[in-house]
């Protein structure tokens, strides 16, 4: 058990959280879509937690939940103490017609700093962005640099990062990526990092949470989870849900590229050709399930199916 | 929302940590006006940004605040005053319409801008948390600068036509507040609805036109039969416009009952709008 004050103090816990959207289907008809289902985990001070998963697996929704821009349908998000979690957002609220200084203040305020805070740090911001005298000029080419410099001043209890690591021209990008990496790996800051890139996550995070179709598949040490995730990506098996036996109900769909793309759906060990989006969704297909296969891999799959069938 | 000692398993060993539980909202939600107050700095900075950006990105800038009501005044005077020969109770027709156009323009631009506030600020809504009420409120507030500029012209016109302030003028801030409450009330309804139904964007210009011609902007309320005036005041802008005219141009006792009716409707609009807005708030980040 934690001592409540030390490095491993519990900051935030999610208990059986579910969140759904209403998808519009015509004027009055709508359909419920679960972005997250029964998600539970805890976050301690000093953690660097990576979140991986395919498109549509619920990664961004989970970040929104942590940032407080979304509220759960069922379950509870518990903040232990006066915990502030903020999403690292670049150029938030920037407008063209204001000066760099004015934009920096406004952006900082949106990110949760007080006006006084930002004004105090304006020199640091200008220095980091290497802008100096340009702060009173209208926003233009300095946009990207300033955006990063302001966002990086933010020091919340939990920093949430969605993909962005480097911005701006090449030299500045390296600098930005470097300070960001240091921040994530630092013991004194708590970071949740979302990415498609398993490589990036494994190099930066100690613990990884793997999401698929709104559920947690695995939550554990980075190496183990990343290895399992990559295995699953390479195999054609649908990802088994935690506590469920693998069922081939929602078989993946393959797009074969040869001039025009052709779509097939894997059902009962046969490849059904798909001609329209309606047909695709009628069979229970979802955009998140689409995978692109190169020509040779596709032939391989086809022959393996004809052998077994 | 704040429940101390919420987790005995972690708080047992040391001093209790204040625990915030974010749970799904059930039924009617509280307005959380305290939170809006805590974000007042952001509110005023946003208002200021709104004004500054608008004045900077247009060639004529601040002049637009005056051009709009002034040209409307000319058209109304020619069409309704000269051609249709509507009564103005001895008040010069341009002065009568301009006195109404100043608060009307404030109201109309308030609802137009605030109805777009959430959809326009979608990027912000998705990324950071702050009380969403701040956005439509700042849009309505920023209209006050335009109002002030147009009002300066109104003072000039009053002097030109030889109208000097009476005691009635003391009540003018009250009528401005009534316009603000009405504008914000309608703006809250429209902005929250706009997230769900993008049709609102197309309905608003129509609504503004419709509302203007059914309010005594281009004409005097005297053309409405006496015993229908109270019913007419169910439109809260009737209270605002007659209030402005009474405070600046007329003498005698105020049209008290009509203003009272308008005030009640305006407050009902604001309160219901605020609750509707808060109730829909949960879905903003999902939908926009």
CATH number at residue A113: 3.40.50.300
CA distance B148 to chain A (A): 23
B21 in any annotated domain: no
Task: Quote the longest CA-to-CA distance of chain B.
Answer: 85
- Give A77's contacts in chain B (Cβ within 8 Å): 21-23
Which neighbouring-strand residues pair with A271? A266
CB pairs under 8 A between A and B: 112
Task: Quote the longest CA-to-CA distance of chain A.
Answer: 71
Is the CA virtual torsion A91, A97, A100, A104 positive or negative? negative
Sheet architecture: strand order including A74-80: A30-44, A10-24, A74-80, B18-22, B2-4
Domain count, chain A: 2
Sheet architecture: strand order including A190-194: A85-87, A158-162, A190-194, A48-52, A207-212, A215-221
Alpha carbon distance A135, A100 (integer Å): 5
Average pLDDT per run of 10 along chain A, which is 309 residues long? 56 89 70 86 90 84 87 86 83 84 88 86 85 74 83 86 69 80 83 83 88 89 88 66 41 47 63 65 60 66 63
Same-domain status, A176 and A263: no
Binding-site residues on chain A for chain B (CB distance < 8 A): 1-5, 10, 13, 21-22, 64, 67-83, 86-87, 89, 92-93, 95-98, 102, 105-106, 109-112, 114-115
Task: Name the 3-class secondary structure at A128.
Answer: helix
Same-domain status, A272 and A185: no
B190 in any annotated domain: yes
Alpha carbon distance B187, B136 (integer Å): 7
Alpha carbon distance B48, A138 (integer Å): 17
Containing domain of residue B250, as a range? 42-79+86-287
A225 in any annotated domain: no
* Both structure tokens of A254: 């393959």
Domain count, chain B: 1
Closest-CA residue of chain B to A109: B42
B29 in any annotated domain: no
Interface contact flag, B124 A106, Cβ < 8 Å: no
* Distance set, CA B184 to CA B141, B187, B219, B238 (Å): 9, 5, 25, 16
B17 in any annotated domain: no
Which neighbouring-strand residues pair with A33? A21
B123 in any annotated domain: yes
Give pLDDT, residue A257. Answer: 45
A287 in any annotated domain: yes
B228 in any annotated domain: yes
A57 in any annotated domain: no
Give pLDDT, residue A156. Answer: 85
Helices in B12-82 by DSSP H: which ranges? 33-38, 40-57, 64-76
A27 in any annotated domain: no
- Give A31's contacts in chain B (Cβ within 8 Å): none
A19 in any annotated domain: no
Closest-CA residue of chain A to B129: A69
Total residues belonging to chain A: 309
A258 in any annotated domain: yes
| End residue of a domain, out of A167, A191, A215 | A191
Containing domain of residue A284, as a range? 252-308
Same-domain status, A267 and A176: no
* Both structure tokens of B222: 């005297």
- Whole-prediction pTM: 0.76
Interface contact flag, B128 A87, Cβ < 8 Å: yes
Interface contact flag, A76 B23, Cβ < 8 Å: yes
| End residue of a domain, out of A151, A174, A191 | A191
Residue B18 touches chain A, beta carbons under 8 Å: yes
CB contact residues (below 8 A), chain B span 157-196, against chain A: none
Give pLDDT, residue B60. Answer: 83
Closest-CA residue of chain B to A5: B14
Give pLDDT, residue B38. Answer: 86
By CB atoms closer than 10 A (0-12, 13-18, 19+), residue B257 is exposed
- Give B46's contacts in chain A (Cβ within 8 Å): 106
Nearest to B10 among A77, A80, A98 (CB): A80
A45 in any annotated domain: no
Same-domain status, A98 and A177: yes
Give pLDDT, residue A248. Answer: 36
Interface contact flag, A98 B52, Cβ < 8 Å: yes
* Distance set, CA B88 to CA B81, B218, B257 (Å): 8, 10, 22
Interface contact flag, B10 A69, Cβ < 8 Å: no
Residues of chain B with pLDDT under 70: 1-18, 23-29, 287-288
| End residue of a domain, out of A165, A191, A217 | A191
Give pLDDT, residue A259. Answer: 47
């Amino acid at each position: 058990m934690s001592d409540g004050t030390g490095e491993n103090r519990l900051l935030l816990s999610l208990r059986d959280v579910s969140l759904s959207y209403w998808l519009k289907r015509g004027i009055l008809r709508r359909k419920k879509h679960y972005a997250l289902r029964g998600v539970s985990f805890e976050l301690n001070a000093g953690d660097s937690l990576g979140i991986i998963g395919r498109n549509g697996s619920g990664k961004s929704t989970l970040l929104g939940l942590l940032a407080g821009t979304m509220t759960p349908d069922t379950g509870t998000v518990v903040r232990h103490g006066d915990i502030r979690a903020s999403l690292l957002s670049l150029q938030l609220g920037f407008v063209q017609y204001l000066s760099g200084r004015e934009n920096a203040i406004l952006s900082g305020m949106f990110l949760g700093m007080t006006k006084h805070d930002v004004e105090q740090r304006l020199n640091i911001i200008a220095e980091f962005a290497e802008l100096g005298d340009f702060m009173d000029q209208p926003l233009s080419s300095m946009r990207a640099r300033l955006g990063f410099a302001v966002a990086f001043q933010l020091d919340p209890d939990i920093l949430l990062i969605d993909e962005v690591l480097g911005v701006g021209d090449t030299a500045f990008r390296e600098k930005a990526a470097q300070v960001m990496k240091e921040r994530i790996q630092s013991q004194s800051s708590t970071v949740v990092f979302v990415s498609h890139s398993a490589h990036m996550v494994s190099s930066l995070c100690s613990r990884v949470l793997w999401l698929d179709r709104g559920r947690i598949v695995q939550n554990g040490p980075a190496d183990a989870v990343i290895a399992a995730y990559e295995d699953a990506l390479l195999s054609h098996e649908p990802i088994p849900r935690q506590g469920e036996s693998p069922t081939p109900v929602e078989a993946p769909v393959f797009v074969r590229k040869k001039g025009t793309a052709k779509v097939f759906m894997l059902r009962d060990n046969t490849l059904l050709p798909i001609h329209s989006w309606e047909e695709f969704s009628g069979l229970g297909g979802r955009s998140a399930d689409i995978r692109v296969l190169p020509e040779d891999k596709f032939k391989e799959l086809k022959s393996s199916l004809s052998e077994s069938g | 929302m704040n429940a101390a000692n919420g987790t005995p398993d972690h708080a047992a060993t040391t001093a209790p940590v204040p625990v915030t539980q974010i749970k799904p909202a059930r039924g009617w939600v509280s307005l959380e006006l305290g939170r809006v107050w805590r974000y007042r700095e952001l509110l005023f900075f946003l208002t200021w940004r709104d004004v500054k950006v608008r004045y900077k990105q247009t060639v004529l800038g601040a002049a637009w605040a005056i051009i709009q009501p002034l040209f409307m005044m000319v058209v109304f005077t020619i069409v309704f005053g000269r051609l249709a020969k509507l009564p103005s109770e001895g008040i010069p027709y341009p002065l009568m319409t301009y006195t109404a156009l100043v608060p009307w323009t404030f109201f109309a631009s308030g609802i137009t801008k605030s109805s777009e506030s959430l959809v326009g600020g979608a990027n912000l809504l998705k990324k950071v948390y702050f009380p969403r009420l701040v956005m439509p409120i700042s849009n309505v507030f920023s209209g006050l600068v335009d109002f002030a500029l147009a009002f300066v012209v109104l003072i000039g016109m009053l002097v030109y036509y030889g109208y000097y302030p009476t005691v009635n003028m003391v009540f003018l801030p009250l009528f401005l507040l009534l316009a603000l409450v009405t504008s914000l009330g309608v703006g809250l309804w429209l902005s929250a609805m706009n997230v769900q139904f993008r049709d609102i964007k197309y309905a608003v210009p129509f609504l503004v036109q419709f509302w203007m011609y059914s309010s005594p902007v281009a004409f005097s309320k005297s053309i409405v039969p006496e015993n229908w005036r109270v019913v007419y005041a169910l439109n809260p802008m009737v209270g605002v416009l007659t209030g402005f005219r009474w405070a600046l141009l007329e003498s005698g006792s105020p049209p008290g009952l009509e203003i009272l009716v308008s005030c009640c409707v305006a407050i009902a609009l604001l309160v219901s709008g605020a609750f509707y807005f808060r109730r829909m708030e949960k879905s903003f980040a999902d939908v926009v």
